[in-house]
């Protein structure tokens, strides 16, 4: 697993957990925006109620119930990929004549393998893991707790939360039910179950040491991360990525994603995406192929002592409204919010930090309404805000699922088809959008960005992503590319 060397010396990691259902049960659906998922299939989106009574909570320090409940739904994920590796070429004349010639570097494709963990969330094989576990994978396989190995399909991914959903073809699988990440408290015992160093079904214990952690992981410049991590001291290591953090009832409360480390190994702290975010993101990825994000349309800052003094605020905790975007309209401004308001609650839940506000809003989709409570000059006021998407409307936009992404070795990129909204935006009838770029590939060398839309190849109009790959398959020599850059600029380039 690759170590990220940033200011905090963080390394990607995580853990796995999940659960079988013990005893007889009946199902009823949670009243949430995910109700339409798995209505006829037992899953984490349906709540389990024992006919014999409530599940035992587990006494403090007693971990066997949760471990036995979680372990059967732990999966070990293995991936295979091909990456371009830069190699130094040695010039034989340089060796013989002592510096006469010149070496150089060349790109060479090499197969690579990686592994991680995952959590089964439905009996018919949907699995939640980390985006970085399956990113760029050509093949994904899953090893179940009963040692069966199955091929998996990537349903879709969300880099902003580092969450992905994959699926295997199987039935009657054990799965983990969703717990309440809002209700967990600092100091509460939790378990991490995963596959560190390819050691299957490893269980570790720790406590919740903090909530709402942010600025944990470096992301690509074009990804706006949604971070509100649960911090624990349960030991996790490389190979645990994409697995779960569970409470003593064996319920999923988070997907562990990162560790604090100077060496790449566990050094005392790990970070998990709370299940409040996971279940919404997973539902969107399965239902729409991408995450539907609602926006308040405000510029925010976290309230601190300096801001209180400068702006003469009447409250010391909350999220400060510093302004509104100049384009696209603002849902919050339309609802009545003003500059210098301090947001103290969303739907009745306190927002003492920006990460908490972003988490609460991140659970909603465009078109949904949230109640925003603000402190305005010492008085509390409620506003009903209808969230919009990033384009300034309330439309639900279906995305291309990750499994349908098309890879072009000639370009060194992955591409997807344009949505109807993108076709309308760029005023084109067809084309292919670049979703991933190998920095060592042709497009990478030329400085192309993700989001660039290819509309023509050698003056021939392009219909979709598959056509790009087909036209360029086994291509030799130079090629003329026409398209639209992310800023709307029309581009013609010969590669």
Residues with catalytic annotation? 132, 162, 241
Rounded Cα distance between 131 and 141, Å, is 15
Rounded Cα distance between 15 and 234, Å, is 10
DSSP state of 116: E
For 229, how many CA atoms within 13 A lie in the half-sphere containing its CB?
27
User: And the tokens for 422?
Assistant: 């993108």
Helix, strand, coil percentages for the chain (3-state, nearest 5): 15, 35, 50
CA angle 171, 253, 164 (to 5 degrees): 55
DSSP state of 16: B
Q: Which of 53, 111, 114 is nearest to 82 (CA)?
A: 111
**β partners of residue 482:** 456, 492
DSSP state of 196: G
Asked if residue 294 lies in contact with residue 364, where contact means CB atoms within 8 angstroms, the answer is yes
176 C-beta neighbours (distance < 10 Å), count: 30
Rounded Cα distance between 448 and 433, Å, is 12
Q: Which of 336, 333, 387 is nearest to 357 (CA)?
A: 387
Q: Who contacts 440 (Cβ-Cβ below 8 Å, separation ≥6)?
A: 84, 86, 107, 412
Rounded Cα distance between 50 and 300, Å, is 44
Rounded Cα distance between 206 and 421, Å, is 46
| Number of helices (H), then strands (E), in the chain | 10, 28
Residue 75 dihedral angles phi and psi, to the nearest 5°: -125, 150
Rounded Cα distance between 298 and 33, Å, is 24
The dihedral sign for the CA sequence 277, 220, 490, 402: negative
């Amino acid at each position: 697993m690759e170590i990220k060397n940033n200011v905090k010396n963080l390394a990607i990691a995580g853990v796995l957990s999940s659960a079988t259902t013990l005893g007889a049960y009946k199902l009823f659906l949670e009243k949430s925006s995910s109700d339409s998922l798995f209505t006829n299939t037992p899953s984490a989106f349906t709540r389990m109620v024992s006919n014999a009574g409530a599940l035992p909570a587990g006494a403090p320090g007693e971990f066997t119930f949760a471990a036995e409940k979680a372990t059967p739904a732990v999966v070990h994920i293995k991936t295979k990929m091909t990456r371009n590796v830069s190699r130094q070429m040695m010039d034989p004349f340089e060796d013989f004549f002592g510096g006469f010639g010149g070496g150089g570097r060349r790109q060479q494709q090499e197969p690579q393998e990686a592994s991680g963990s995952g959590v089964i969330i439905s009996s018919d094989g949907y699995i939640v893991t980390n985006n970085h576990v399956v990113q760029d994978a050509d093949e994904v396989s899953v090893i179940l707790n009963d040692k069966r190995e199955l091929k998996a399909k990537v349903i879709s991914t969300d880099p902003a939360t580092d969450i992905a959903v994959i699926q295997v073809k199987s039935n009657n699988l054990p799965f983990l039910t969703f717990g309440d990440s809002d209700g967990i408290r600092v100091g509460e015992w939790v378990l991490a179950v995963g596959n560190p160093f390819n050691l299957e079904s490893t269980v570790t214990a720790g406590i919740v040491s903090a909530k709402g952690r942010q600025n944990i992981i470096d992301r690509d410049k074009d990804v706006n991360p949604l971070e509100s991590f649960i911090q624990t001291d349960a030991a996790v290591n490389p190979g645990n990525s994409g697995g779960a953090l569970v409470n003593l009832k064996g319920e999923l409360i988070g997907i562990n994603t990162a560790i604090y480390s100077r060496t790449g190994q566990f050094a005392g702290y790990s970070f998990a995406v709370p299940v409040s975010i996971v279940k919404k993101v997973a539902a969107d990825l399965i239902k729409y192929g991408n995450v539907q994000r609602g926006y308040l349309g405000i510029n925010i800052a976290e309230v601190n002592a300096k801001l209180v003094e400068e702006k003469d605020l009447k409250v010391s905790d909350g999220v400060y409204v510093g302004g509104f975007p100049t384009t696209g309209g603002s849902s919050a401004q339309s609802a009545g919010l003003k500059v210098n308001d301090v947001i103290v609650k969303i739907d009745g839940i306190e927002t003492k930090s920006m990460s908490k506000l972003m988490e609460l809003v991140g659970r909603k989709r465009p078109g949904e309404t949230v109640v925003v409570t603000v402190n305005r000059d010492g008085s509390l006021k409620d506003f009903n805000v209808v969230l919009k998407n990033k384009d300034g409307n309330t439309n639900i936009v279906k995305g291309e699922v990750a499994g349908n992404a098309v890879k072009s070795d000639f370009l060194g990129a992955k591409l997807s088809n344009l949505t109807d909204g993108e076709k309308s935006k760029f005023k084109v009838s067809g084309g292919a959008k670049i979703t991933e770029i190998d920095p060592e590939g042709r497009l990478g060398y030329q400085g192309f960005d993700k989001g660039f839309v290819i509309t023509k190849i050698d003056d021939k109009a392009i219909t979709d992503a598959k056509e790009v790959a087909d036209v360029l398959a086994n291509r030799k020599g130079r090629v003329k590319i026409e398209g639209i850059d992310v800023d709307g600029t029309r581009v013609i380039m010969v590669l």
